[in-house]
Chains A and B, each alone.
Chain A
């Protein structure tokens, strides 16, 4: 199994809503990542988890809250988002922080209305 699975594939939410994005991998990878990608731009790193601990937060606003419940799961909790937060949110995993060959999920297309 070399897949990173993200749910949901599409999400539309209002600015007062609370929602969560989910990511799962069963490759035994111990590093997991959240990226944000706007149209026609490269992915931008948001958070890095290493061995279930947050190791990098790229100055992401607090309305985005990551969580790593166990080594296979990564969540991104969303609250009070703005329309400019609409983007493709990508989860990725790699063997560890040293081996950064990252495998990406298919992404969640988020629209904030």
Chain B
């Protein structure tokens, strides 16, 4: 089946640093979504992308829909302790959402 690979698998950064993570696929997607999940909670939708090349921001978060439609990127600027969690990308192939493997983010003060 389809797989979305996220990298890095985990990140340990200092508060105030910028963060970049990406998601790649062997298949084309029509929509890319980015979610954040805290332990024991459901994923929370951060950003949705609908067009190849689209760049969208939500506060300190910026995400891009790759030109090839096979990848997407998420950047977090000036990280803060509450950014800690697991970030999932998800691609929509018009049938269902496929989730990436996740990037675990730890922020140290």
Contact = CB atoms under 8 A, between A and B. Distances in A.
Partners in one complex: yes
A42 B42 contact: no
Interface of B: 31, 33, 35, 40-45, 48, 88, 90, 92, 94-97, 99-102
Interface in A85-109: 88, 90, 92, 98, 100-107, 109
Interface size class of A (residues with CB under 8 A): 20 to 34
Contacts of A44: 99
Interface of A: 4, 6, 40-45, 48, 56, 88, 90, 92, 98, 100-107, 109
B97 A106 contact: no
Contact of B40 (A40, A42, A48, A107): A107
A100 B48 CA distance: 10
B45 A100 contact: no
List of 4 A-B pairs having minimum Cβ-Cβ separation, nearest first: A104-B42, A42-B99, A100-B92, A107-B42
Contact of A56 (B35, B43, B96, B99): B96
Contacts of A42: 88, 99-102
Nearest to B4: A42
Contact of A106 (B33, B41, B45, B90): B41
A100 B97 contact: yes
A101 B96 contact: no
A105 B101 contact: no
Contact of A104 (B44, B94, B100): B44
A3 B100 CA distance: 24
Contact of A101 (B40, B42, B48): B48
